[in-house]
């Protein structure tokens, strides 16, 4: 359950050179409440967000503590956050106008400070003009279109008011010639761990690369990866990539060693906290497409079960797939 206690919108309009800081909070009701709730829900469940930890000398953490303790009220707190972003993006090569939303919310009874940044997009709208001949309706560009309810905020951060745990989704910008992730590096001043999406991507990529290097089939390896992830998610919400090599390549110590080295080099030194439900949706099925244009979707649980699916290597180098014990076929086209 999400409850929005406070929210405010500030505008960074670099096109006109006019930054507009609001002196009042948003009235969180009706369409505004719907807009905020949808984007909070969508961002909170994002598999792209990375968990973070504040550096000891983080200015944001000190600012947060002032706000949480009551030394600073919400509006000045939100302005201080936006000022840091404005100062950073003023020096960016990709200087795009943006809307910044700061909110004090409760998600499942956990108090969170949320910061959203949405770059302005060019859209089209109508404009009614009065001319000498009467009314003339025009189509005009509009440069401050915010994401609709089916889209997502481009960058966001959630900070737990109690534990100070951080969750961030950010983009890289070129500032004074340096590539920088503004949200974690400049605004929050925190370190980041890999995201759930990065964990699965690196696990699949590394396993496939090792399998290919040793002449093994990448398709069956990918299926084994999904099975490994699914089994882990049934037991808990953490995925330990360091243990995967033993499960994926149980009979080859050299492959295990190569896999372990690659995972360590990629920065996965600790288990990654996952969203069990979202992760299971990603790995519950295995989609295949042959070079002949045939597409198959096979439940991961069945992929290695020769009672239902069997893969055979033919003498001419091609592959045959046999589906077994089928009593009925439904046309879903």
Lowest mean pLDDT among 136-140, 186-190, 191-195, 269-273: 136-140
Q: Predicted confidence band at 319 (pLDDT cuts at 50, 70, 90)?
A: confident
pLDDT of 180: 92
Q: Tens digit of pLDDT for each residue in 171-224?
A: 999 988 899 999 999 999 999 988 988 999 999 999 999 999 998 877 788 888
Q: What b/e readout covers 208-225, taking b as 16+ CB neighbours within 10 angstroms?
A: bebbeeeebeebebbbbb
Q: With pLDDT > 90 as the criterion, what percentage of the chain qualifies?
A: 48
Q: Predicted confidence band at 111 (pLDDT cuts at 50, 70, 90)?
A: very high
- Torsion angles phi and psi, residue 309, rounded to 5: -135, 135
Burial class (CB in 10 A: 0-12, 13-18, 19+), 111: middle
Neighbours of 125 (CB within 10 A): 10
pLDDT of 144: 58
Which pair of tokens denotes residue 192?
């980041």
Say if residue 321's pLDDT is above 80: yes
pLDDT of 18: 76
Could you tell me the CA-to-CA distances from 271 to 39, 191, 239 in Å, in that order? Answer: 28, 16, 5
pLDDT of 185: 96
pLDDT of 142: 67
114 and 38 in contact (C-beta within 8 Å)? no
End-to-end Cα separation, the chain, in angstroms: 38
What does the domain layout of the chain look like in residue ranges? 2-118+152-192, 196-323
Which pair of tokens denotes residue 151?
């889209």
Residue 239 CB contacts under 8 Å (≥ 6 apart), including other chains: 196, 199, 200, 203, 229, 232, 233, 271, 272, 274, 279
Say if residue 303's pLDDT is above 80: no
Gap between the Cα atoms of 154 and 310, Å rounded: 43
pLDDT of 188: 97
Q: Tens digit of pLDDT for each residue in 13-66?
A: 877 777 899 999 999 999 999 999 999 999 998 889 999 999 999 999 999 999
75 or 271, which is more confident: 75
Q: The dihedral of CA 36, 162, 54, 236: what is its sign?
A: negative
313 and 319 in contact (C-beta within 8 Å)? yes
**pTM, full prediction:** 0.76
């Amino acid at each position: 359950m999400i409850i929005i206690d406070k929210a405010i919108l500030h505008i960074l309009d670099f096109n006109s050179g006019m930054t507009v800081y609001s002196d009042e909070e948003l009235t969180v009701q009706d369409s505004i409440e719907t807009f905020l709730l949808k984007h909070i829900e969508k961002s909170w469940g994002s598999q792209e967000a990375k968990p973070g930890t504040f550096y000891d000398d983080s200015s944001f953490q000190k600012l947060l503590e002032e706000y949480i303790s009551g030394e600073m009220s919400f509006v000045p707190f939100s302005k201080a956050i936006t000022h840091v972003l404005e100062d950073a993006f003023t020096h960016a090569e990709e200087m795009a106008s943006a809307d910044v939303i700061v909110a004090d919310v409760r998600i499942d009874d956990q108090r969170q400070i949320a910061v959203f940044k949405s770059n302005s997009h060019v859209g089209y709208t109508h404009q009614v003009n009065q001319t000498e001949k009467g009314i003339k309706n025009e189509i005009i560009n509009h440069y401050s279109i915010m994401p609709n309810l089916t889209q997502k905020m481009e960058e966001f951060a959630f900070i737990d008011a109690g534990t100070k745990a951080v969750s961030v989704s950010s983009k890289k910008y070129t500032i004074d010639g340096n590539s920088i992730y503004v949200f974690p590096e400049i605004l929050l001043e925190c370190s980041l761990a890999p995201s759930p999406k990065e964990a699965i991507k690196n696990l699949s990529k590394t396993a496939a690369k090792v399998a290919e290097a040793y002449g093994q089939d990448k398709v069956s390896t990918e299926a084994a990866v999904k099975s490994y992830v699914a089994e882990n998610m049934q037991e808990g919400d953490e995925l330990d990539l360091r243990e995967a090599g033993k499960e994926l390549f149980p009979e080859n110590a050299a492959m295990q060693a190569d896999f372990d080295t690659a995972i360590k080099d990629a920065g996965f030194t600790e288990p990654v906290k996952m969203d069990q439900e979202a992760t299971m949706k990603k790995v519950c099925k295995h989609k295949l497409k042959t070079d002949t244009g045939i597409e198959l979707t096979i439940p991961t649980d069945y992929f290695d079960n020769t009672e239902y699916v069997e893969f055979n290597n033919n003498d001419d180098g091609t592959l045959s797939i046999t589906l077994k014990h089928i009593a009925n076929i439904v046309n879903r086209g």
